[in-house]
């Protein structure tokens, strides 16, 4: 038994050394692949930025490297030497790695920081002042088996005030300069894959405070520490195809310095998408548990309220959405290419073409079965008001195949419903004004509330159950041809 234990004790470090050596000789190749992947992701969202390897020094248990981040020379033409950000990388070799963030297991762990020594003197002083000597940003990327990638990131707290402004510039701040910018930093941990198509994790966003003056009045914006939860199973070029991102902000305050304040308590913002076979749908929502508005000069005082707002889409072909995302990326690249280029006319034509292709593809996504839905609800102690729009495209032909406004109206079906409790408008100018739409049949008195319902289908519009000849109301223009080509070329 003792011999077996001794053998194991000898074999384990030999195996560790062997695997570490094997991963170390692969490190530069993996690092190059990481930079290639980073450039691909940057092109999708920030095509004006490019990352390049500057140096690489291989070691046994760890290697070091530097990379540079610059404005993409294929888009920008420099009159002067561009500002370059140099990043320091320490690559720890697996399978077992002792890192500043503790012991890690996997094929590699890459710790990245900003190389402050490479910054111009004035930028270096600013960074040191803002972050008070701390590392501005630290990220760690841990590559594991099966293509899984764990990412840790940290942005240090920063602050800038009048005292620091004077220390940096030697001058007192002007009236238009910010009096205070304070950010408590951000930390995050999430898991993805080597393709970057999956994203699961949490971002913790520190408190943010900004103060300044306008016309001698104090302007203040404050956001409490917030959390963003990501549970995305399919991400394509920054667009969620399946999954959700939920951001929760306990409090957000804005004051214009003139006595008007807006405060959001319990703010939740959701972006969600899902798939049903080859169909794509999504919804974005905005919820506030408590909305407080103070406006002394307003004739109507807004009571503490609860707010819900959402916008959803459904029935879109998944492949058409992916094509639209691709064309959107090309359009953004064409727009960025206009900056600092000597031939804006030629690039302008390219941009117009890319915009035309994008809007043409956008129109092509509108076909039978697609629809949109919007919900808005405001409630407080006086009552509740709500708006709901459900609109669907019912025509077998695609949108651009429709020739006239009549064809478009015939292709749509849906309902718009608006309701408001009487208590919400009691004692306000709206209480008297509502009498006219009620008399004209555009709203109905339901006892405790007013309600209006508009239904559209097969070219017929009914308001509160009564037919309204919408096609006749439009007169001769309803059969005028729609100039789709001109509309697309003017976008």
Q: Is the pLDDT of residue 21 over 50?
A: no
- Minimum mean pLDDT range among 81-90, 191-200, 402-411: 81-90
Supply the pTM of this predicted model. 0.84
Number of domains in the chain: 1
DSSP 3-state assignment of 278? coil
Among 238, 226, 227, 246, smallest CA distance to 286 is for 246
Residue 72 lies in a domain: yes
Predicted local distance difference test score (pLDDT) of residue 1 = 46
Highest mean pLDDT among 25-34, 52-61, 265-274, 327-336: 265-274
User: Which pLDDT tens digit goes with each residue over 147-182?
Assistant: 788 889 999 999 988 888 787 777 777 776 778 899
How far is it, in rounded angstroms, from Cα 379 to Cα 291?
10
User: Which pLDDT tens digit goes with each residue over 46-59?
Assistant: 767 788 888 888 87
How far is it, in rounded angstroms, from Cα 126 to Cα 168?
7
DSSP string, 74-110: TT---SSPPP-EEEEEEEEESSEEEETTEEEESSEEE
Do 28 and 57 contact (CB within 8 A), yes or no? no
Predicted local distance difference test score (pLDDT) of residue 223 = 95
Do 58 and 91 contact (CB within 8 A), yes or no? no
Residue 143 lies in a domain: yes
Residue 460 lies in a domain: no
Do 248 and 267 contact (CB within 8 A), yes or no? yes
For Cα atoms 388, 390, 396, give the angle at the middle one, nearest 5 degrees. Answer: 170
How far is it, in rounded angstroms, from Cα 90 to Cα 104?
14
User: Which pLDDT tens digit goes with each residue over 434-448?
Assistant: 989 888 889 999 999
Distances (CA, A) of 40 to 34, 74, 76, 146, 210: 10, 15, 18, 21, 34
Question: In the predicted model, what is the mean pLDDT of the chain?
Answer: 83
Predicted local distance difference test score (pLDDT) of residue 12 = 34
Q: Is the pLDDT of residue 318 over 80?
A: yes
Residue 364 lies in a domain: no
Q: Is the pLDDT of residue 75 over 60?
A: no
Residue 232 lies in a domain: no
Token duo for residue 301: 């005082």
How far is it, in rounded angstroms, from Cα 73 to Cα 50?
8
Residue 3 lies in a domain: yes
User: Which pLDDT tens digit goes with each residue over 377-386?
Assistant: 999 999 999 9
Tally of CB atoms within 10 A around 27 = 22
Q: Is the pLDDT of residue 117 over 70?
A: yes
> Would you call the peptide bond into 84 cis, given omega within 30 degrees of 0 as the criterion?
no
Predicted local distance difference test score (pLDDT) of residue 461 = 93
DSSP 3-state assignment of 418? strand
Residue 149 lies in a domain: yes
Among 155, 206, 205, 160, smallest CA distance to 182 is for 160
H-run or E-run covering 463: strand 460-463
Show Cβ contacts of residue 466 under 8 Å, excluding neighbours closer than 6 positions.
Answer: 441
How far is it, in rounded angstroms, from Cα 52 to Cα 67?
5
User: Which pLDDT tens digit goes with each residue over 356-414?
Assistant: 888 888 888 899 999 999 999 999 999 999 999 999 999 999 888 899 999 999 999 99
DSSP 3-state assignment of 175? coil
Torsion of CA 473, 475, 481, 487, to 10 degrees: -50
Token duo for residue 389: 């729009």
- Minimum mean pLDDT range among 129-133, 194-198, 348-352: 348-352
Among 315, 245, 311, smallest CA distance to 280 is for 315
How far is it, in rounded angstroms, from Cα 473 to Cα 153?
60
For residue 66, the enclosing domain spans 1-156
Predicted local distance difference test score (pLDDT) of residue 14 = 36
User: For the residues 259-288, what does the mean pLDDT come to?
Assistant: 92
Do 68 and 29 contact (CB within 8 A), yes or no? no
In the chain, what percentage of residues exceed pLDDT 90? Answer: 35
Residue 147 lies in a domain: yes
Token duo for residue 371: 């629809």
How far is it, in rounded angstroms, from Cα 410 to Cα 479?
12
Token duo for residue 27: 């490190």
């Amino acid at each position: 038994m003792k011999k077996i234990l001794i053998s194991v004790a000898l074999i384990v470090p030999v195996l560790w050394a062997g695997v570490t050596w094997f991963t170390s000789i692969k490190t530069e190749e993996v690092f190059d692949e990481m930079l290639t992947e980073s450039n691909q992701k940057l092109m999708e969202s920030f095509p004006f930025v490019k990352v390049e390897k500057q140096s690489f020094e291989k070691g046994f248990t760890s290697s070091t490297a530097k990379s540079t981040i610059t404005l993409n020379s294929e888009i920008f033409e420099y009159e002067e030497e561009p500002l370059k950000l140099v990043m320091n990388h320490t690559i720890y070799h697996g399978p077992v790695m002792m890192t500043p963030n503790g012991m890690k297991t996997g094929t590699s762990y890459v710790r990245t920081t900003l190389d402050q020594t490479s910054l111009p003197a004035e930028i270096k002083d600013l960074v040191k002042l803002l972050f008070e000597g701390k590392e501005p940003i630290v990220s760690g990327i841990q590559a594991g088996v099966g293509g899984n990638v764990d990412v840790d990131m940290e942005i240090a707290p920063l602050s800038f005030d009048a005292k620091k402004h004077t220390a940096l510039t030697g001058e007192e701040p002007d009236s238009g300069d910010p009096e205070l910018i304070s950010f408590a930093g951000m930390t995050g941990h999430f898991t993805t894959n080597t393709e970057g198509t999956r994203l699961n994790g949490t971002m913790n966003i520190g408190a943010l405070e900004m103060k300044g003056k306008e016309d001698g009045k104090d302007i203040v914006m404050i956001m409490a520490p917030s959390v963003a939860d990501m549970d995305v199973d399919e991400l394509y070029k920054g667009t969620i195809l399946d999954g959700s991102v939920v951001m929760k902000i306990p409090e957000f305050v804005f004051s214009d310095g003139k006595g008007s304040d807006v405060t959001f308590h319990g703010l939740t913002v959701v972006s969600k998408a899902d798939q049903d076979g080859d169909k794509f749908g999504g919804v974005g929502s905005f919820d506030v548990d408590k909305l407080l508005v103070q406006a002394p000069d307003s004739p109507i005082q807004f009571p503490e309220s609860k707010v819900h707002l959402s916008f959803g889409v459904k029935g879109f072909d998944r492949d058409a959405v992916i094509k639209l995302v691709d064309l959107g990326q090309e359009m953004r690249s064409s727009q960025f290419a206009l900056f600092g280029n000597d031939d804006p006319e030629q690039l302008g034509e390219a941009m117009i073409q890319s915009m035309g292709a994008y809007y043409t593809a956008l129109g092509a996504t509108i076909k039978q079965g697609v629809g949109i839905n919007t919900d808005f609800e405001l409630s407080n102690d006086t009552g509740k008001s709500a708006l709901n729009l459900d609109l669907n495209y019912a025509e077998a032909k695609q949108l651009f195949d429709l020739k006239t406004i009549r064809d478009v109206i015939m292709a749509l079906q849906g309902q718009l419903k608006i309701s408001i409790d009487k208590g919400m408008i009691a004692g306000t100018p709206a209480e008297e004004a509502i009498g006219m739409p009620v008399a004209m049949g555009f709203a109905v008195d339901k006892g405790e509330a007013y309600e209006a319902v508009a239904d559209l289908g097969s070219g017929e519009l009914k308001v509160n159950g009564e037919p309204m000849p919408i096609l006749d109301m439009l007169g001769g223009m309803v059969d005028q041809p729609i100039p789709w080509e001109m509309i697309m070329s003017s976008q």
